[in-house]
Amino acid sequence: DAGITQSPRHKVTETGTPVTLRCHQTENHRYMYWYRQDPGHGLRLIHYSYGVKDTDKGEVSDGYSVSRSKTEDFLLTLESATSSQTSVYFCAISDSTSGLRGTDTQYFGPGTRLTVL
Amino acid sequence: AQSVAQPEDQVNVAEGNPLTVKCTYSVSGNPYLFWYVQYPNRGLQFLLKYITGDNLVKGSYGFEAEFNKSQTSFHLKKPSALVSDSALYFCAVDGRGSTLGRLYFGRGTQLTVWP
């Protein structure tokens, strides 16, 4: 497995509370991504980062923010958790060794199961 | 717009028989296509990808996929299924345009191989 860890692995929280999920990589890859997985939807991109302090929105970014202050860490924050954010969250990493955008494989972390009551 | 369709939510096959998991795509320009597998309570594992060249791509665990441009398909295949192949399979396509390396995933196909 690629050197990706996610913490916590499981979390139960209440509606309205802030939540931060952490993705940590030891591969020194430039690109990092946050996805959520929901039944019937596959994986959907929340936010991604193409370098330290460089981030952008994905297709389901509402209610989420991210930060990347170091190459190895990518944080996902739910400012005020809602029940619709109950999901499994995956972090992924990739690098641009090929020089061709989009050709490099994304490698995924083990996931965080978040339940918002 | 880029999109991927996996028309079958579930595929069942007997051990030893060939298996096919279907994927069709819609993308502007030349597609970059990927297959991932997910075992229960695990992250996604990369199986194979098509970037350019030979239409038949070989990947991990004996899997292969055939790129068919005229049919916009990228079906995953294995000549002889194993019970241990039972898992959730995702097809994904690279989204071209302004987003770097952004993958669009299908909804997934649950493969069950029975003994």
DSSP of B56-94, one letter per residue?
Answer: EEE-GGG-EEEEETTTTEEEEEESS--GGG-EEEEEEEE
Please tell me the CATH code under which domain B3-114 is placed. 2.60.40.10
- Distance of alpha carbon B69 from alpha carbon A67, whole angstroms: 39
The helix (run of H) or strand (run of E) holding residue A60 is: none
Q: Cis bond leading into B40, ω under 30°?
A: no
CATH 2.60.40.10 is held by the domain A4-97+106-116: yes
Tell me if B44 and A90 make a contact (CB, 8 A cut-off): yes
Interfacial A residues in 23-52 facing B (CB < 8 Å): 31, 40-45, 48, 50
pLDDT value, residue A61: 95
Which positions in chain A touch B105 (Cβ < 8 Å)?
42-44
A78 in helix, strand or coil? strand
Contact A51, A28 (CB under 8 A): no
What is the rounded average pLDDT of the residues A79-92? 96
Contact B3, B55 (CB under 8 A): no
Which of A91, A103, A112 is most worth mutating to test chain B (most B CB atoms within 10 A of its CB)?
A103
Specify burial of residue A56 (Cβ count, 10 A radius: 0-12, 13-18, 19+): middle
Q: Which residue has the higher pLDDT, A72 or A103?
A: A72
- Chain segment A5-18, per-residue pLDDT in tens: 999 999 999 999 99
pLDDT value, residue B56: 95
Nearest to B107 among A40, A58, A110 (CB): A40
Domain ranges within chain A, ordered by starting residue: 4-97+106-116
Nearest to B101 among A94, A108, A111 (CB): A94
DSSP 8-state code for residue B96: P
- Distance of alpha carbon B16 from alpha carbon A61, whole angstroms: 43
pLDDT value, residue B98: 44
pLDDT value, residue A100: 52
- Chain segment B65-79, per-residue pLDDT in tens: 999 999 999 999 999
- Chain segment A28-75, per-residue pLDDT in tens: 988 899 999 998 888 999 999 988 999 999 889 999 999 999 999 999
> What are the residue ranges in chain B where pLDDT is below 50?
98
Residue A102 pLDDT exceeds 70: no
pLDDT value, residue B42: 87
Residue type for A18, please? P
Cross-strand bridge partners of residue A50: none
